[in-house]
Every structure is written in structure tokens, then in C-alpha cells.
């Protein structure tokens, strides 16, 4: 094998330590596969309150205790701790940057009381960004690649090209910036600029200035050596207009040649119905009937009557506009006239939490809802439902539809981003289809797709062949991890 690469993977969430969405799944699975391929990859994240030292066997790194990190005219102290992400096949080192004042709170980005972003999110992630580089300097570990993820880490790209440009340790380091969701950009008022530690010349249109504010995702995009997004279709969508680019479409267009869409994979060990310990009964494409035990358990859990012949639709989602809940709201009463059941697990915006709670009360025998975050229940829904609904307005990649395919739970999706890249329509292509796809973001098209799914469900043979096809699709990380390695190697060759 050629010389192994050293890669620092910088992210704001990683399972099992901290998770709000798919970024956490990706940030654990991709580094583990890259490690299996023989590279030295390490992860660094903030140490939130939920990251328990005892539970995760986290220990202090003595020489990295109380590092002074400037934040505007203040100097805060950050300490670095360490643990490992271990699987049967690999062991990846994880560093945590801790600061009591900034990270010791219940939620990662949002104040659960106000449901608004923490007002000091600029401080929290600017401190983290600088802390990451200071950690590397003190460790003396020289990364070939620093792989950044989403706005929380974008500042690092700009720091490396300016304040830290003369550091010998980073002389040959290249930066990859991955966009997981262009809707969240880390926009802060220009008054926060001095806290970035960047020279004033960077506050400009082709720097991180954005309509008079600062935009940390833009910092990542402008200063990275390569940009990736999490599916090929999303890579095209984000430069197509405001609907997907959220004001950064011009930057995405400008950076199109440096941008590549690499489809996320799924953790094939964690999401495997043959060995999943969080479901009622394991099953496989060869033992499909055993899936029914999960449907029974799911109905029981939500106090719904169990009937093998009634299609049960599952949803596991952040309750956010992105995910298409206004379509569900618009069509709820019409959907309820159909012979189906609906089970939803999610948390997020209050208006959707209220909508779903009302629906459950109104349609007691047909709708089950759990508001909250529950990893085990997410697995049971994937295993127990017949279909999985994901009518997203936009979906950079989406992992749940891949989990659904793997669990033989046919997805009903809108044709956008990663959903378009992973699900094929069964009505159009009965021999290859694995789900139900609709084009336009409107209630009528979603409703038609659900009706098509219900009609197909009645043809048991056709349905079972589609389930088997879906379960045999390969969405493991192997192919995509190789694409990241190729990209790392390509940019390392560039001057
Ligand atoms: P996004 O990152 O946009 O939320 P993804 O489909 O990429 O969407 O990933 C979502 C991940 O979060 C999946 O692993 C899903 O199972 C999980 N998830 C979302 N909401 C919940 C919830 N309420 N409880 C448990 N898991 C959830
Ligand atoms: C974001 C996107 C989601 C994607 C995930 C992981 O949260 O909304 O579509 O799967 O990141 O890349």
C-alpha cells in the first residue's frame, strides 16, 4: 500500500457521543472505514454535557489541559480529552475540546426552552475552530488532510489560509469541506468578526462576508482546497438557485469545478436487520416473514391494532420544514380516509410537534406518535413498518431511506438530493423499483405516491420481490470511502 495518510476529521457531532441527525452517523462510519483502509484518521468534536467521561472512558491529555484560546478580546481556556471509537474492525481516536461555559448544556445547537439557536453559537464554534488548530500544534501531529464538516467547522479553512498560513506544521496540509446541509450556514453579525481571529481583509465578498454579516459556511467554501456534498444530485441542486442554495448558490456555482457529490453510505453493522439487537425479531431477505414480529411489536408499542394486511407507514425525522411536514399537514385528513396506519418518531419545531400530537388524538386507531429522540425506537420503526415516508422539500443525502431499504421497508420519497440517487420508482419500473418516488413538492403528488404504494402492497408477490431487491442494495461505505481517499490524494498533489 502507498504511504498511509493522516487525516483530521472535524465535526460537531458523532455517534455514540452526540447526535442530532445524519451528520453524527456519517462522522462515525466514514472515519472507521477510512481507518480500516489503513489510514491514520482521528476525529475531533466539542465536549458537550452529554459526553460522559465515565460512560465513554474518556481521559484527560495532561499536556493539553487549560490551553489559552483567544476569542476576540477574551482568552478562554480549553482542555483536550481523548477516547476511542471502537468497532470489531477498527479503532479511531477521538479528541474532545472542553470548556465548561461553552459546551456544558443539554442540547448541541438549540436552547430547548426557547427552541432558538443558543445566542453564543458564534463563540462556541469559533472557539472550537481555533481550539482544533491549537490542539494540533501542541500535539505536534501533522495532518495531511483536515476534513471539515458543515458551518460549525468552516472557520478553520479561513484560519489555515491566513493566521496559521506560516505554521510549519500545516505547510502541506490540504482542506476538504463537506456540505451536509446548505440551509444552516452559521451567519452572525459583523460585530462577531473580531472573535474569528482573522485579519480584516478577509471580511469581503470573496471572503466570508455575506450581505454585511459573516457566514462561516462561506468561509469553508471559499478557503477549502476541495468541496464535497453528500450526494451527486444535491451537488447540482445547490448551485441551481435559492431554493437549494439558500443564498450561497452563487458561491456554489463559482466553486462548481472544485465540488464533488459523494453519496453517503450507511453503517452496515449498526443498521442490519439480521443482527440488530434493538428490534423485536431479526430477519433477512430469506426469512422475510419474521419481519411481521416487528410490526406486531411496533403496533403494541403505539397501541394500534395489528393487522398484517393494513399497510403501516413509518416516519423517523427531525421535525423541520426540510422534511416535508407541511405536505403531511395538508393531506392528513385525506390520508386518514385510506386504509393505512402511520407511526411517527420525531422532535423539533413546535408547530409540527403540535400537529402530530393532535393527529394522534384525533385518529387513535390509525396514528401513533412519539415526540422525542429515541435510537432504539428508530430501529424498531425501520423494522416494523411496511413503508417509510420521506417527502422532503430538499434532502442533501438522507440516511433513513437507505436504512429503510436495508430493512425491506419500502420508502416513499420526493425526488430530491440523495433520495433521487438511492430510490427507484416501482410503478415506473416494476422489475427494478425499490420504492415510490414523486417529483413536485406538493401534497397531491405525495398523496398519489402513497396511494400507489398502497395499491402495490396488495400484490403480495410483487411487494415481496421489491422488498428483497431493496434489502440487497449495497449502500455500505466502502465505495464512497474510496472516493474520499482518491480526492484527498488528488488535492495533496496540487501545488
Ligand atoms: P438529517 O440528518 O437531515 O436529520 P438523515 O436521514 O441524514 O437526516 O439522518 C437522520 C438520522 O437521525 C437517522 O439516523 C435517524 O434515524 C435519526 N433520527 C432523526 N430523528 C430521530 C429521532 N427522533 N429519534 C431517533 N433517531 C432519529
Ligand atoms: C444533513 C442532511 C441529510 C444528510 C446528513 C448527513 O443533516 O439533512 O440529508 O443525510 O446531513 O450527511
Tell me, in angstroms, the distance from the centre of ligand 2 to residue 398's CA: 5
Long-range own/partner contacts, residues 47-52 (CB < 8 A, 24 or more apart)? 47/81, 47/96, 47/97, 47/98, 47/99, 47/103, 48/17, 48/18, 48/103, 48/104, 48/105, 48/108, 49/103, 49/104, 49/105, 49/106, 50/17, 50/18, 50/106, 51/17, 51/18, 51/96
Distance of CA 93 to the CA centre of its chain: 21
| Ligand 1 atom with the shortest distance to the CA of 181 | 3
185 C-beta neighbours (distance < 10 Å), count: 23
Mutational pocket test of ligand 1: of 316, 323, 377, the residue with most ligand atoms within 8 Å of the beta carbon: 316
Q: What is the rounded distance in angstroms from the CA atom of residue 434 to the CA atom of residue 456? A: 11
Using one digit for the tens of pLDDT, what is the confidence trace for 323-365?
999 999 999 999 999 999 999 999 999 999 999 999 999 999 9
Residue of 12, 15, 16, 21 to mutate, ligand 1, most atoms within 8 A of C-beta: 21
* C-alpha grid cell, residue 118: 443558543
In this prediction, residue 106 carries a pLDDT of: 86
How far apart, in Å, are the Cα atoms of 369 and each of 254, 303, 363?
44, 10, 11
- Mean residue pLDDT of the chain comes to 97
Location of C-alpha cell 487525516: 7
Q: How far is the CA of 371 from the centre of ligand 1 (A)?
A: 13
Q: Can you list the domains of the chain with their CATH numbers?
A: 6-265+478-492 (3.40.50.2000), 288-474 (3.40.50.2000)
- Which residue minimizes the CA distance to atom 10 of ligand 2? 398
- Extract the C-alpha cell encoding 69: 484560546
Residue 251 has pLDDT above 70, yes or no: yes
Using one digit for the tens of pLDDT, what is the confidence trace for 386-400? 999 999 999 999 999
pLDDT-derived band at 1 (thresholds 50, 70, 90) equals: low
DSSP state at residue 2: P
Ligand 2 center from residue 144 Cα (angstroms): 26
Give nearest CA residue, ligand 2 atom 5: 22
How many CB atoms lie under 10 A from the CB of residue 452? 18
Ligand 2 interacting residues, C-beta cut-off 6 A:
21-23, 26, 180-181, 230, 264, 395-399, 418
Specify whether the CB–CB gap between 154 and 217 falls below 8 A.
yes
Q: What percent of the chain has pLDDT over 90?
A: 97
The alpha carbon of 22 and the centre of ligand 1 are apart by a number of angstroms equal to 6
Lateral strand order in the sheet of 367-371: 367-371, 341-348, 312-319, 387-390, 410-414, 436-438
Write the pLDDT tens digit of every residue in 294-320: 999 999 999 999 999 999 999 999 999
Mean pLDDT, residues 196-221 taken together:
97
Buried b (16+ CB within 10 A) or exposed e, 138-155: eeeeebbbbbbbbbbbbb
For ligand 1, residues with CB inside 6 Å are: 21-23, 25, 316-318, 345-347, 373-375, 378, 397-400
Q: How far is CA 461 from CA 156, 176, 340, 466, in A?
A: 54, 46, 19, 9
Please, which pLDDT band fits residue 90 given cuts at 50, 70 and 90? confident
Q: Which three cell numbers stand for residue 215?
A: 457566514
Residue 369 Cα, ligand 2 centroid: separation in angstroms? 23
Q: In the predicted model, is pLDDT for residue 74 greater than 70?
A: yes
- Number of neighbours of residue 81 by Cβ within 10 angstroms: 19
267: left (phi over 0), alpha (psi -120 to 50) or beta: beta
Query: How many A from CA of 22 to the centre of ligand 2?
Result: 5
369-388, pLDDT tens digit by residue?
Answer: 999 999 999 999 999 999 99
CA of 375 to the centre of ligand 1 (A): 9
Distance in angstroms (rounded) separating the CA atoms of residues 226 and 221: 8
Q: Which residue has the cell 458551518?
A: 151
Q: Please say whether the beta carbons of 330 and 397 come within 8 A.
A: no
Gap between the terminal Cα atoms of the chain: 24
Nearest residue (CA) to ligand 1, atom 9: 22
On the question of pLDDT at 139 being above 70, the answer is yes
Range list of H helices, 42-188 = 100-103, 121-139, 155-161
Amino acid at each position: 500500500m502507498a504511504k498511509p495518510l493522516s487525516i483530521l476529521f472535524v465535526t460537531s457531532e458523532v455517534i455514540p457521543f452526540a447526535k442530532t441527525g445524519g451528520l453524527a452517523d456519517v462522522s462515525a462510519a466514514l472515519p472507521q472505514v477510512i481507518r480500516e483502509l489503513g489510514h491514520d484518521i482521528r476525529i475531533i468534536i466539542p465536549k458537550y454535557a452529554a459526553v460522559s467521561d465515565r460512560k465513554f472512558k474518556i481521559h484527560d491529555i495532561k499536556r493539553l489541559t487549560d490551553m489559552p484560546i483567544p476569542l476576540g478580546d477574551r482568552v478562554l481556556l480549553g482542555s483536550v480529552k481523548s477516547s476511542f471509537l471502537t468497532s470489531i474492525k477498527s479503532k479511531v481516536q477521538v479528541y474532545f475540546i472542553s470548556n465548561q461555559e461553552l459546551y456544558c448544556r443539554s442540547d448541541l445547537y438549540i436552547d430547548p426552552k426557547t427552541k432558538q439557536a443558543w445566542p453564543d453559537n458564534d463563540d462556541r464554534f469559533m472557539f472550537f475552530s481555533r481550539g482544533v488548530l491549537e490542539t494540533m500544534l501542541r500535539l505536534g501531529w501533522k495532518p495531511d488532510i483536515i476534513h471539515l464538516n458543515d458551518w460549525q467547522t468552516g472557520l478553520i479553512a479561513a484560519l489555515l489560509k491566513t493566521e496559521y498560513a506560516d505554521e510549519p506544521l500545516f505547510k502541506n496540509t490540504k482542506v476538504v469541506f463537506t456540505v451536509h446541509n446548505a440551509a444552516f450556514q452559521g451567519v452572525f453579525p459583523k460585530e462577531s468578526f473580531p472573535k474569528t481571529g482573522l485579519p480584516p481583509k478577509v471580511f469581503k465578498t470573496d471572503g466570508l462576508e455575506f450581505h454585511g454579516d459573516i457566514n462561516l459556511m462561506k468561509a469553508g467554501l471559499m478557503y477549502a482546497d476541495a468541496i464535497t456534498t453528500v450526494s451527486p444530485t444535491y451537488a447540482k441542486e445547490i448551485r441551481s438557485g435559492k431554493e437549494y442554495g439558500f443564498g450561497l448558490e452563487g458561491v456554489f456555482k463559482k466553486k462548481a469545478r472544485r465540488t464533488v457529490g459523494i453519496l453517503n453510505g450507511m453503517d452496515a453493522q449498526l443498521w442490519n436487520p439480521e443482527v440488530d439487537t434493538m428490534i423485536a425479531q431479526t430477519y433477512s431477505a430469506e426469512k422475510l416473514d419474521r419481519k411481521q414480529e416487528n410490526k406486531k411489536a411496533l403496533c403494541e408499542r403505539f397501541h394500534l391494532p395489528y393487522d398484517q394486511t393494513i399497510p403501516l407507514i413509518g416516519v423517523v425525522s427531525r421535525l423541520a420544514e426540510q422534511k416535508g411536514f407541511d405536505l403531511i399537514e395538508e393531506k392528513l385528513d385525506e390520508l386518514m380516509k385510506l386504509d393505512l396506519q402511520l407511526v411517527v418518531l420525531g422532535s423539533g419545531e413546535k408547530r409540527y410537534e403540535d400537529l402530530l400530537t393532535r393527529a394522534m388524538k384525533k385518529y387513535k386507531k390509525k396514528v401513533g406518535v412519539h415526540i422525542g429522540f429515541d435510537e432504539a425506537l428508530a430501529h424498531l420503526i425501520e423494522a416494523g413498518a411496511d413503508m417509510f415516508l420521506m417527502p422532503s422539500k430538499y434532502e442533501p443525502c438522507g440516511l433513513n431511506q437507505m436504512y429503510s431499504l436495508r430493512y425491506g421497508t419500502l420508502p416513499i420519497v420526493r425526488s430530491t438530493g440523495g433520495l433521487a440517487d438511492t430510490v427507484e420508482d416501482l410503478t415506473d419500473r416494476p422489475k427494478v423499483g425499490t420504492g415510490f418516488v414523486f417529483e413536485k413538492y406538493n401534497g397531491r403528488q405525495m398523496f398519489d405516491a402513497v396511494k400507489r404504494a398502497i395499491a402495490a402492497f396488495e400484490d403480495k408477490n410483487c411487494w415481496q420481490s421489491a422488498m428483497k431487491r431493496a434489502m440487497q442494495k449495497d449502500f455500505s461505505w466502502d465505495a464512497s470511502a474510496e472516493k474520499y481517499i482518491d480526492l484527498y490524494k488528488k488535492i495533496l498533489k496540487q501545488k
